[in-house]
Structure 1
Amino acid sequence: MFLTPEQTALIPIYREKWQQIGLSVKPIDRQQAAAAINTAYNLIDLPEPEIIFCDSPLDALLKIQPLSSQGQLWLEDASAIRDKIHNEVYNSLRKQLPRELENHIYSQLYNPLHDRLVNQLHHHVRDEAYDRLEHKLRERFMIFFLKMTSNNNFIVSELSACHGSWVDFCISVLNLKCDRSLYTLFESLTKNCGLIYPYAKKCFVCDRPQKIDFGSTGLLHAEGKPAVEFVDKFSVYCYRGVRLPETYGRVAPESWQAQWLLTEKNAELRRVLIQAICYERICQELQALELDSWQEYTLLKIDSDVDIEPIHLLKMTCPSTGKIHVLRVPPGVRSAKEAISWVNWEIDPEEFQVQT
């Protein structure tokens, strides 16, 4: 079984359709969300729950936490909803697909969406919410609470949108068979709900973000403002796909301070700071030490614990314009000539003239 050219041409359309669903910033329709939740509970023979709408995932966790500490939710998760709907829909379709075709459809639909919707959006929002909550809870209870709100007992709308792309394609384009009532419920939950925490008697349903910003590279990115923001102002700051603490994120990158490198312990955040601040400013603000010079070149060292390895830099001054360029060189480099040679693929600096 192979895709026809006409079927192949429809893949981007279904990918874009479900990406828009997964990245929607429209407030959820609470009436439609409640109807979908009640139908899902009826499906697994549970009575309709008390539905608690939450402005953000952090809002949901803050509402779940006191109930869980009182033992009201322990062993009461209703994750069978996800298992019943998702697994039966997915499995019924997979059985009808040759493995090679299944892998191809996954690679064209599910995988690209997963990178953006789950690896970027959901994971950053989840981690930020847990980090905020961790400051409020004792370590021992935080471990207990994480078990209660782990991936095993919540429904991630972004992940459902990833699956929706290939499921919809298989049903609508390939005409594969599945339980249409289950698929309709799956589609309704995905389109009308944000993150869902289903428990036996209570169901917490999160609203969507009101703002999501991706940079040109497809990574969450915003400068001096949140990349993701919910109606209750719970926010996630990101720079080129890396989650930032608010102290950095609310400041425009051109105003970031090299001094932050001296106290930042996270290696990934130090890398982002170095990338944004640039070595020219780092040299100036951290007062780089001169190790050696040759003609218009100077070998410098940042005499601070800024990065995992010592930072050695080659400073190059254009003799005609006075413009300065700075490149990082390996810490083992001991002379300006050696640094020039390394930058120029081991060509001896005596063999070429300074380009102006």
Structure 2
Amino acid sequence: MTELRGIGPRGALSAEQLEYAARIGEFWERRVLSTERCDRHDVRYLVDRVYQAFGFSPPSTVTRVDSPVAGIAHVMRLAADHRHLGPHMGKDLRDDLDDQLERMLLDEGSRTLDERIWRALGARARLGQGTELDQPMWRQIVRQLDAAAVVHKEDRLADPLASWYCSELSAWWDGVWLARLICETTFAGISDTSRLTAVAALTAAVGCWWPMDGAVVVVERPTVIRCDAMGCLHGEDGPALIFADGYAVYAWHGTAVPADMIHGESWSVARILAERNLEVRRCAAEHMGWGEFLTRAGAQLVAEAPDPGNAPHRLELYDLPDEILEAYPRDVRVCLCTNGSLERDGSARRYGIVVRADLDDPVEAIADSYGVSAEVYRGLQARR
């Protein structure tokens, strides 16, 4: 490991360090996407190791559950008699290592190491995917807890995702900073990393965990994880996440949605427009299919034109109903297109692309969505 130690001028990393960081990034991406069952004996050993590293006696109660919801139920039952240690451990770990790293970086005169490590970690891995999976799951759980009045709103922090009952440690949320600290401490040559090593090992071995004084709750990994091409939770015809006890999370391109939006018949236009959550409302329109939704909703056709990139099909540019437009951060329109390749049944799927509202020409609008000029797009022979 000696070839990994040392920081070059202005935080430059060596070829060996870049390769090491890329491997660390790949490791945590595999942990994020893992559906393997946790090893009972390994977990018990790793739990004891964490507690000892922070100067606590090993917990007498180790509860293993199959989903985060079940985990919260146990945490809440234990909270009256057991102090929650997660924030304490996390703060101690960060403060301890940050102090050492700051001294090292000041000595080296480097202020750009973090940025270089982030790039190296993500060189071959989608390092931020964990948060893309974590947030929809917890937003669904928080909504369900609120609906069941499990936790009074006045007892929660302003941000529901930062509430005490969501402060678990997991590879999904914590793998990013653990990976960074592993690289930084290795490159800085810090010898005492017993706390970091212990927390990282346990976090990588389970779905998530809540440490308390004398007790710990450990959650199994999901049995199914489904994502879209961008790495966001997404299930077109079923749950995006399934846990062993049957708890499921339904998501549409990273947004948690109600189960009945995915299962059974598509929502009616009236049901979509009545949905109070703006993001869910937009997802429901996409799930129905922009072509069908625009027709049923009576959306106004702005203009249409032959699609030069996909003859003989046409492009149709529509203004959205106000109730859907509210879900977007700026004024937009939808350009209805036809897929360049046929479906398995031989049909040509129609789909909508959100485009800028200041473009009145469908060809210019669709070209802009691809990042090219209308002239370049008109010269295409076929879009794939």
Q: TM-score, normalization: structure 1? A: 0.73
1:242 to 240, 243, 255: 255
| 1:161 is the counterpart of 2:170 | no
Render the CA deviation track for 1:114-134: whole Å, top value 9, x for unaligned.
Answer: 53112x122222222222222
Tell me if structure 2 keeps the 8 A contact 1:85–1:186.
Answer: no
Distance change in 2, residues 1:142/1:28 (3 Å):
farther
Render the CA deviation track for 1:10-44: whole Å, top value 9, x for unaligned.
Answer: 44332112211232211111222122222322333
Q: Which residue of 1 aligns with 2:211?
A: 198
Q: Which residue of 1 aligns with 2:235?
A: 222
1:53 aligned counterpart, secondary structure: strand
Distance change in 2, residues 1:315/1:229 (3 Å):
closer
Q: What does residue range 1-356 of structure 1 map to in structure 2 within 5 Å?
A: 1=8, 2-49=12-59, 50-68=61-79, 71-73=80-82, 76-79=83-86, 80-97=88-105, 98-109=110-121, 115-118=128-131, 120-137=132-149, 140=152, 143=155, 147-151=163-167, 154-170=168-184, 174=187, 176-251=189-264, 255=266, 257-287=268-298, 305-308=323-326
Render the CA deviation track for 1:73-129: whole Å, top value 9, x for unaligned.
Answer: 4xx1223333334543454345434221232113442797553112x1222222222
- C-alpha displacement of 1:59: 0.4
- C-alpha displacement of 1:274: 2.9
Identity %: 18
Cα root mean square deviation, aligned: 4.2
In the aligned structure 2, how far is the partner of 1:170 from the partner of 1:280? 50
In the aligned structure 1, how far is the partner of 2:52 from the partner of 2:259? 42
Q: Which residue of 1 aligns with 2:310?
A: none
User: Which structure is larger by alpha-carbon Rg, 1 or 2?
Assistant: 1
More off after superposition, 195-204 vs 296-305 = 296-305
In the aligned structure 1, how far is the partner of 2:57 from the partner of 2:29? 33
In the aligned structure 2, how far is the partner of 1:311 from the partner of 1:180? 50
Render the CA deviation track for 1:148-183: whole Å, top value 9, x for unaligned.
Answer: 4253xx3233233223323333455x3622314334
Distance change in 2, residues 1:330/1:66 (3 Å):
same
1:168 aligned counterpart, secondary structure: helix
1:178 aligned counterpart, secondary structure: coil
Distance change in 2, residues 1:89/1:110 (3 Å):
farther
In the aligned structure 1, how far is the partner of 2:316 from the partner of 2:113? 58
Q: Which one-letter code corresponds to 2:91 in the other structure?
A: D
2:228 aligned counterpart, secondary structure: coil
In the aligned structure 1, how far is the partner of 2:70 from the partner of 2:326? 37
Distance change in 2, residues 1:144/1:165 (3 Å):
closer
1:209 aligned counterpart, secondary structure: coil
Render the CA deviation track for 1:259-288: whole Å, top value 9, x for unaligned.
Answer: 432221222222223334344312433355
Tell me if structure 2 keeps the 8 A contact 1:110–1:163.
Answer: no
In the aligned structure 2, how far is the partner of 1:15 from the partner of 1:132? 33
In the aligned structure 1, how far is the partner of 2:230 from the partner of 2:325? 25
In the aligned structure 2, how far is the partner of 1:36 from the partner of 1:58? 23
Q: TM-score, normalization: structure 2? A: 0.68
Q: Which residue of 2 aligns with 1:349?
A: none
- C-alpha displacement of 1:243: 1.7
Gaps of 5+ in 1: 317-322, 346-356
- C-alpha displacement of 1:60: 1.0
Q: Which one-letter code corresponds to 1:105 in the other structure?
A: I
